[in-house]
Structure 1
Amino acid sequence: MKKVIRYIKHHKIKSVVITLLLIGYFFCLPQELFKDPTATVITSKNNELIGASIAKDGQWRFPHNDSIPEKFKTSIIQFEDEYFYKHPGFNIISIIKALKQNLSSGSIKRGGSTLTQQVIRLSRKGKSRTYIEKIKEIILATRLELRNSKNEILAFYSSNAPFGGNVVGLDAASWRYFNRNANQLSWAESATLAVLPNAPSLIYPGKNQEHLLKKRNRLLKKLLDKRIIDSLTYNLSIVEGLPQKPYPLPQIAPHLLQKVAKTHYGEHVTTTLNLELQKRVNTIVSNHHNLLKQNEIHNSAVLILDVNTREVLSYVGNTPTDKFHQKDVDIIDKARSTGSILKPFLYAAMLDAGELLPNTLVVDVPTQYGSYNPENYNKEYDGVVPASRALSRSLNVPAVRMLQEFGLDRFHHYLKALKLKDLKYNANHYGLSLILGGAESNLWDLCKSYAALSSTLNHFNESSSEYFTNEFCEPKFIASKTVDFGKPIQNKVLFDAASIYLTYESLKKVNRPEGDESWEFFDSSKQIAWKTGTSFGFRDAWAIGTTKDYVVGVWVGNADGEGRPGLVGIQTAAPILFDVFDLLPNSDWFDKPYDEMQEIAVCSKSGFRATEFCTDTQQEFIQTSGLKTKPCSYHILVHLDENEQYQVNSSCEDLNKIKHKPWFILPPLVKFYYKAKNPFYKSIPRYRSDCLGESKITMEFIYPKKNNTVFLPKNFDGKTNDLVLKIAHSKPETTVFWYIDKTFVGKTKDIHDMAIIPKQGSHLITAVDEFGNETKRKIEVSE
């Protein structure tokens, strides 16, 4: 050290120069050698290539890869730089030989560059091959050798070497020329790629085949001579053909590639996709597309989530249609009208709030709220129907009436808690149509919500009856990301486990598509809770289903919003849903969350909590909050004569002769529709004529509806058809008198249908019974 200090004191200028040279040498090599744009590459969970998009400069250049297959590593070293592991970045013997040959020929015939020097040359693009440039390369190569390991230098070379055309790097070349991963290449294929960077513009697959074949075989012979490969491998390798033209890169999940590129452009991203499942779902979508396009339905999307990990297992953003039909649009995250797909959330919310039991009767009759007039899909009505059955049959009128009863703002709050990002407006903006497709959502958010409900139920049963704070988290499609379900808590986050379970029990009974109706009779059949939806105008068809382990979501329609006849969830989306579920493993049905349930007596006929007048009851497990629901009001105690023909009371019958009997009774309008489908319904007997104090008389219009415009068509003779007025009367045997604008037009008894031919314009219809009770309805008549 003293000698060094003494030397510096006596040779200050030299010392400064040496120091500056050392500093310059240390910093002469850029920290980042290659700044070229790279392709966005996505692979499956098992690192199988799913898709790639070309780099911004038009080159197929995959992101840097530190891993180099042994066959290619051996081939490239034997072909380009036999002493790679021994030299410090340059090979002085090769340089001297090259210098002699170049001087004797008067031009540059031989380079003598090592692989390290070639890495430097690749990073210094476009530099002319002069002796000064060669000296710079040698200096930078030695610096690279000091900074990086030999394997890292090889990785730089294999990731950035030109392989002909617009193919750069080993990974891209392997897929473009051999349609598979580099670590799956044979010796012949690895040797072919090893010789390509030596003259990529002169020889590449499809061009100068004879020259390329000779170079490859010479390398294979060298590998044989050095006993790197045996004679059998050599003989088999030299008869392998050469690739004739580049293969297109796999595009197995192009829409997920688009999605990844938005946030990870130019990167290699390992996704959560299952490659084989993705391929098979692609086939299903393609097959259904070939059928649907015959009805000019061109687009569909499928999403599969793993409930337990919240991983995306398959992502099909659209059909393999054409650009005219917008094949590049990713439908999965696009807002579309929800149709009936939100109905299960309302059912669960009402169960959760203790305002409904699973089979509580809900009213299903023609209904009007202001100018809003919801109708069932088949234009028929049941009078009353169990809530679970209304859900499984997707009846519109009961759903709207349930929403009105539950509260629009209240339900809107539940939907906002589900984090449906396309629900952008307040509750009043949507109105009661919210439950029938008045709002928009997307397949991603809807599948996420169903997965969260299923996971809530799973976690509750698997833990000590606990919920998790972050149950409604975002699914993931990037494998490196983690899903955090939050901390376990005792209180529910949104819906309690029992309400979810009972909702799924109802959805399990949804009628399946044609040909799959008898699924429950087969032991191997999957138990699936699922729901379809169809938007107004037949623009969107939905089907979303869940098991304990998987959620599958399907959307079908046209990306431009064009509606088509037959574009109905059960007909177009449901068949895809069940074809996809057939690819997935069977799952056990959800366990019943007993800790959130109570066993009580329920009226078998009304679905309400049983009262003393409910003669037919059954024990059912209901959600704990259901204990707050009202007791059955459909059963009352009636007093009959000895023959049970008439109602009587103490004014007309001896108390000892009066029979007291529970009776299932419905309001007149409800009864009118209920009896049409339940012919064994027994109306309550009327009072005997000598009795006083009869029950209150009610009557309601069946047709026309409130503020309705009536069109009177003409028959083939040109005669205007009649308008038939209908009312339901609590005592049908009563005589009813009919008036139009105070003009008497007739009377009816027993069956209260009145045929009239009114003039065009506004009219007031009045019906008055013999007891003075009346009901009125305004209509507008048009021809």
Structure 2
Amino acid sequence: MSRGGRIAVASGCVAVFAALVVVLALVLDRSFPPPLPNSRSLSVEVTDRDGALLRVFATEEGRWRLKPRLDAVDPDFLALLIAYEDKRFATHRGVDPLAMMRALGQMITNGRIVSGGSTITMQLARLLEPRPSRTLDAKLLQIARAVQLERQLSKDEILEWYLTLAPYGGNLEGIRAASLAYFGKEPASLDLQQASLLVALPQSPETRRPDRNEQAARQSSLRVLARAAEKDLIDPAEIERVAGLDFLVRRRPLPAFAAHLAQRARAGNPERLLHQTTLLRDVQANLESVAKEAAERLQQRLSIAIVMADSRDGFILAQVGSAGYFDSRRAGWIDMSLASRSPGSTLKPFIYGLAFEEGLVLPETLISDRPANFSGYRPRNFDMQFQGDVSIRHALQMSLNVPAIRLLGAVGPARLASLLRRGGMRYRLPATDRPGLSIGLGGIGTTLVDLVQLYSGLVAIDGRSVMLSNGVDAQSVRSGNGPLLQSVARWHVRDILRGVVAPVGSPRLEIAYKTGTSYGYRDAWSVGFDGRYVIGVWIGRPDNSAVPGLTGRSAAAPVLFEAFARSGKAIEPFNAPPSGAVRLARADLPQSMRRFLTFEERFERSTSGETAPQIAYPPSGARIALSRTSGEAFLPLVVKLQGGRPPFRWLANGKPVDSVVRQRKWQWSPDGRGSASLSVIDAAGRTANVDIIVE
């Protein structure tokens, strides 16, 4: 039979075949409905607020399978795909008779398969219902299924599902997974070389894998471009240009940012395929790098957490739970941004804010930094030293403990606890305990997220802190809607914290910040803010063990400054001072505001003519000859006192004697000859003493 005769016979067979397919499809529609694609087998995605991929989870069978939107795929790629795979895709009904005739004719002419006649719809049918062999009955079923799919899905749906399920080598399926894995980008921004490669890959995904078979991948992509040039889709010169480009493709890991948050998102709603957070991927990636690099400079067992929030809308822009999720040395799987730890001195600014609000002090008011006993609570400074009289500004900037507790005693721990709740900060007290003075130095438990929440109230223009949200975790609940502090009080706190010196080696940034170190060197904190953004840093060991020498100033503050510098967000200027906010020198303060005195100190000063006690007789160093009774006991020595506030308690040689007395004369009977020390304590706690010799 001649060649023309063979083609005529083949054409007739195709026509009969096509009619049979239509009849078969109608029968199958009723008896054997097609396996339609569904979303249950797709990868779970976690995105930032703009839809950028933060993390993707593999399917149960270990596949990376992401469904694309056609409007988010490079249009040049789609044009190349249609031209190369199925040029009449828009018009056929699942089967392209002309393509099948061409393929059959080429096979008859050449004695082998030269090109396939499968449409994109037929390829989708094969992907939905894979067959181990390529027999005639398998092909017939594939054709019938393609007709069925065309009757139940739109062209866009067919194309989207093909681009979801098409194999791209290894465990990659779909254009998005392939584009992310091979090029590190979404398919919306493919260049011509990348697009042509991804068109060619599904035809032979393993032999053309660009990370393993570079030459085969390159040649297949050039064939796609040659076909496109034949159809006038591209300029033929583009083939030569692409052929001259470097072909460096490697398999990259798919995005895995915000690992802790992504895990909680999926665990909280495992049926949902898309979880959108409030994070920004670039900010999250930048701060994860900051945490990882800082951890490498620290001890192996130290973990780092960083949180960045926008005080204007309450969105958390980055939440880094550890320096590395899979870093077992640091228990990286524990999200330390949500761990309850002692905040150290980071709450002190709010004590001072309350004191400003109450009108007790101004920044240049003097306050005593000397040893003090607050009903048995004796705070000491971090360096175990005391500085005497200091200004309020200096006391807060140097984070002195005694001045902070003096002010907290004046405003009351309950007021501080109320402020914390109003600011949306959740905290824990020891069981059956009520807020006491110790909360001012970190005697509560709270999280880094809650600390950033609290500080956002210092940044808010009206003082009403917006409740922070990451789009996944439940928001905290605050007890009131009023401002955290009055505007002038907030401004004084910000103004003081802006003056804190930057850590050694860090650039001076226009930010305000505070550090904190918990008892026993277990937690190092630093929280800072500009006119809009708040960043908090925590460093420590997840097991809560001590790290000698770990401080907020030396460890956390440098990381805070690096986080601000590398976040990708420009430093926002601070708001203008509110009405009534001025800086006054101490000499310009009212007399009553020049020095802070506790209630007890004010009471003492208000007592007219009262002086400290003095032992008038005997004088110190005196030698006293006492007579003896018939029983050889010494006769009493009359001790005389001047000044002081009764009642008085006397001590002889350091031991209390007799009962408390109100008179300024006291009789003391010595035990024997020799040196003796007499001391007295008045009602105000003032003391006097003399040393004498009894002869």
What is the CA distance between 1:418 and its match in structure 2?
A: 2.6
**Aligned match for 1:571, one of 526, 551, 554:** 554
- Other-structure match for 2:610: 695
- Other-structure match for 1:640: none
Alignment of 1:490-501 (within 5 A): 492-501=482-491
Letter in 1 for 2:302: H
**Residue 766 of structure 1 contacts residue 774 of structure 1 at CA under 8 Å; is this kept in 2?**
no
Letter in 2 for 1:70: P
CA distance, structure 1, for counterparts of residue 41 and residue 111 of structure 2: 35
**Aligned match for 2:184, one of 161, 179, 182:** 179
SS at match of 1:434: helix
CA distance, structure 2, for counterparts of residue 186 and residue 330 of structure 1: 39
What is the CA distance between 1:560 and its match in structure 2?
A: 2.8
Question: Structure 2 vs 1, CA of residues 172 and 243 (structure 1 numbering), >3 Å: closer, same or farther?
Answer: farther
Alignment of 1:164-203 (within 5 A): 164-203=169-208
Q: Where does structure 1 lack aligned partners over 5 or more consecutive residues?
A: 1-17, 461-466, 520-524, 618-628, 637-664, 668-692, 700-728, 745-764, 778-783
Q: TM-score, normalised by structure 2?
A: 0.74
Q: Deviations over 1:463-508 (max 9, x none)?
A: xxxx76xx43123468xx9x9x99xx9x934422222222212222
What is the CA distance between 1:542 and its match in structure 2?
A: 0.7
- Other-structure match for 1:670: none
What is the CA distance between 1:304 and its match in structure 2?
A: 2.1
**Residue 84 of structure 1 contacts residue 115 of structure 1 at CA under 8 Å; is this kept in 2?**
yes
Say whether residues 1:768 and 2:674 are aligned partners.
no
What is the CA distance between 1:98 and its match in structure 2?
A: 6.2
SS at match of 1:507: helix
**Residue 287 of structure 2 contacts residue 318 of structure 2 at CA under 8 Å; is this kept in 1?**
yes
**Residue 29 of structure 2 contacts residue 148 of structure 2 at CA under 8 Å; is this kept in 1?**
no
**Aligned match for 1:474, one of 459, 468, 490:** 468
CA distance, structure 2, for counterparts of residue 256 and residue 772 of structure 1: 57
Say whether residues 1:55 and 2:59 are aligned partners.
yes
Say whether residues 1:512 and 2:516 are aligned partners.
no
SS at match of 1:336: coil
Say whether residues 1:33 and 2:49 are aligned partners.
no
CA distance, structure 2, for counterparts of residue 264 and residue 529 of structure 1: 39
SS at match of 1:504: helix
**Residue 651 of structure 2 contacts residue 657 of structure 2 at CA under 8 Å; is this kept in 1?**
no
Question: Structure 2 vs 1, CA of residues 426 and 411 (structure 1 numbering), >3 Å: closer, same or farther?
Answer: farther
- Other-structure match for 1:380: 385
CA distance, structure 1, for counterparts of residue 213 and residue 612 of structure 2: 99
What is the CA distance between 1:157 and its match in structure 2?
A: 1.0
What is the CA distance between 1:391 and its match in structure 2?
A: 2.2
**Residue 67 of structure 2 contacts residue 160 of structure 2 at CA under 8 Å; is this kept in 1?**
no
Question: Structure 2 vs 1, CA of residues 634 and 142 (structure 1 numbering), >3 Å: closer, same or farther?
Answer: same
Letter in 2 for 1:412: A
Percent of aligned pairs sharing the same letter = 28
Letter in 2 for 1:285: A
**Residue 548 of structure 1 contacts residue 587 of structure 1 at CA under 8 Å; is this kept in 2?**
yes
- Other-structure match for 2:304: 300
- Other-structure match for 2:73: 68
CA distance, structure 1, for counterparts of residue 429 and residue 141 of structure 2: 62
Q: Where does structure 2 lack aligned partners over 5 or more consecutive residues?
A: 1-22, 615-642, 659-676, 690-695
SS at match of 2:346: coil
CA distance, structure 2, for counterparts of residue 535 and residue 397 of structure 1: 16
Question: Structure 2 vs 1, CA of residues 593 and 196 (structure 1 numbering), >3 Å: closer, same or farther?
Answer: same
CA distance, structure 2, for counterparts of residue 771 and residue 309 of structure 1: 55
Q: Which protein is richer in strand relative to its size? A: 1
Q: Deviations over 1:371-403 (max 9, x none)?
A: 643211121224444444322221122223333
Identify which range, 337-346 or 302-311, moves more after superposition: 302-311
Letter in 1 for 2:553: I
**Aligned match for 2:233, one of 218, 221, 228:** 228
Alignment of 1:588-627 (within 5 A): 588-594=573-579, 597=580, 604=586, 610=591
**Residue 220 of structure 1 contacts residue 238 of structure 1 at CA under 8 Å; is this kept in 2?**
no
Alignment of 1:328-727 (within 5 A): 328-353=333-358, 356-369=361-374, 372-423=377-428, 428=433, 431-455=436-460, 458=461, 460=462, 471-476=465-470, 492-514=482-504, 526-583=509-566, 584-594=569-579, 597=580, 604=586, 610=591, 695-698=610-613
CA distance, structure 2, for counterparts of residue 153 and residue 101 of structure 1: 28
Question: Structure 2 vs 1, CA of residues 129 and 43 (structure 1 numbering), >3 Å: closer, same or farther?
Answer: farther
SS at match of 1:86: coil
Question: Structure 2 vs 1, CA of residues 495 and 426 (structure 1 numbering), >3 Å: closer, same or farther?
Answer: farther
Question: Structure 2 vs 1, CA of residues 330 and 766 (structure 1 numbering), >3 Å: closer, same or farther?
Answer: farther
Letter in 2 for 1:573: A
What is the CA distance between 1:438 and its match in structure 2?
A: 1.8
**Residue 393 of structure 1 contacts residue 511 of structure 1 at CA under 8 Å; is this kept in 2?**
no
**Aligned match for 1:291, one of 297, 300, 304:** 297
What is the CA distance between 1:23 and its match in structure 2?
A: 12
Question: Structure 2 vs 1, CA of residues 41 and 122 (structure 1 numbering), >3 Å: closer, same or farther?
Answer: farther
Letter in 2 for 1:604: R
**Residue 603 of structure 1 contacts residue 610 of structure 1 at CA under 8 Å; is this kept in 2?**
no
Identify which range, 277-286 or 445-454, moves more after superposition: 277-286
CA distance, structure 2, for counterparts of residue 770 and residue 273 of structure 1: 62
CA distance, structure 2, for counterparts of residue 38 and residue 176 of structure 1: 14
CA distance, structure 1, for counterparts of residue 232 and residue 148 of structure 2: 34
- Other-structure match for 1:713: none
Q: TM-score, normalised by structure 1?
A: 0.66
CA distance, structure 1, for counterparts of residue 227 and residue 115 of structure 2: 20
CA distance, structure 1, for counterparts of residue 347 and residue 32 of structure 2: 63
CA distance, structure 2, for counterparts of residue 410 and residue 23 of structure 1: 76
CA distance, structure 2, for counterparts of residue 432 and residue 632 of structure 1: 16
Q: Deviations over 1:345-389 (max 9, x none)?
A: 222234345555555544433234566432111212244444443
**Residue 409 of structure 1 contacts residue 427 of structure 1 at CA under 8 Å; is this kept in 2?**
no
**Residue 301 of structure 2 contacts residue 329 of structure 2 at CA under 8 Å; is this kept in 1?**
no
Letter in 2 for 1:532: T
Say whether residues 1:741 and 2:643 are aligned partners.
no
- Alignment length, in residue pairs? 608
- Other-structure match for 1:641: none
What is the CA distance between 1:442 and its match in structure 2?
A: 1.5
Letter in 1 for 2:322: N
What is the CA distance between 1:72 and its match in structure 2?
A: 2.1
Alignment of 1:57-96 (within 5 A): 57-66=61-70, 67-95=72-100
What is the CA distance between 1:172 and its match in structure 2?
A: 0.9
CA distance, structure 1, for counterparts of residue 197 and residue 124 of structure 2: 20
